[in-house]
Structure 1
């Protein structure tokens, strides 16, 4: 399964993270916001749609830069998840956790200490090693 995620920088050394709401898989863990790529969508189109739905933020395709990926090993009953991570810089417009959970801005060191799903651990380590 193909999933996209956004590492949104505020221009002051902080990154936006989303805490998964109760009742969802990985509830209570922090992640880079994003979601599934639907049939017929490119990864960038999916990320723009997901971020609009989850955060109310309008992204421009030209403002998205590929930053890396993480993938699961094959699971027993389903195809493995592959997350493609993109970066962008926040334009200062309002944000909200529209689908539940909460959002927060964190430094790279703070992100490293947050409880995250395994693929987000890998994405954060790779991203912050590069920056």
Structure 2
């Protein structure tokens, strides 16, 4: 493939991951700490996961939120907010961020991950993967 300047570009693996900013009644956002043994272990992120073949982003979030933190979310409670586009060394990440204020069940760490409810303006106090950081100003604007 040739770029705009005519130079050849190598094929880039595009990975689609979807994330959710769960917002509680006090306008706090849920973040989860990546467990030991996973890439970027110890960093804090918004819950979500990789979109599987044949799956829509909303279906992925519904599945992942149930698997990871035990809540049930209806598709009409998920609203797209923004997205991140980030080049890692071996792939390019495209990550839509949805916001959700209504769900059924109690948030429980089902994968031994630490969970924290944080005010949007305190998200930067928690080390996050590079792709998550540009999402923070959108949440601050929305929840301030």
Question: TM-score by structure 1 length?
Answer: 0.91
Instruction: With a CA cutoff of 8 Å and minimum separation of 6, indicate the structure with the bigger relative contact order.
Output: 1
1:21 is aligned to: 35
- Residues paired across the two proteins, number: 129
Gaps of 5+ in 2: 1-14
**What CA distance in whole angstroms lies between the structure 2 residues aligned with 1:99 and 1:71?**
26
Alignment counterpart, residue 42 of structure 1, candidates 53, 56, 79: 56
Query: In 2 relative to 1, CA 92–112 (structure 1 residues): closer, same or farther, beyond 3 Å?
Result: farther
1:88 is aligned to: 100
**What CA distance in whole angstroms lies between the structure 2 residues aligned with 1:45 and 1:128?**
26
Alignment RMSD: 1.5
Gaps of 5+ in 1: none
Query: In 2 relative to 1, CA 107–70 (structure 1 residues): closer, same or farther, beyond 3 Å?
Result: same
Runs of 4+ in 1 over 6 A off after TM superposition: none
Residues 24-58 of structure 1, C-alpha deviations (whole Å, 9 max, x = no match): 11111110000000001100001100111100110
Q: Is the partner of 2:97 in helix, strand or coil?
A: strand
**Is 2:76 the partner of 1:62?**
yes
Query: In 2 relative to 1, CA 109–76 (structure 1 residues): closer, same or farther, beyond 3 Å?
Result: closer
Question: TM-score by structure 2 length?
Answer: 0.83
- Asked if the contact 2:82–2:97 (Cα under 8 Å) also holds between the matched residues in 1, the reply is yes
- Asked if the contact 1:70–1:122 (Cα under 8 Å) also holds between the matched residues in 2, the reply is yes
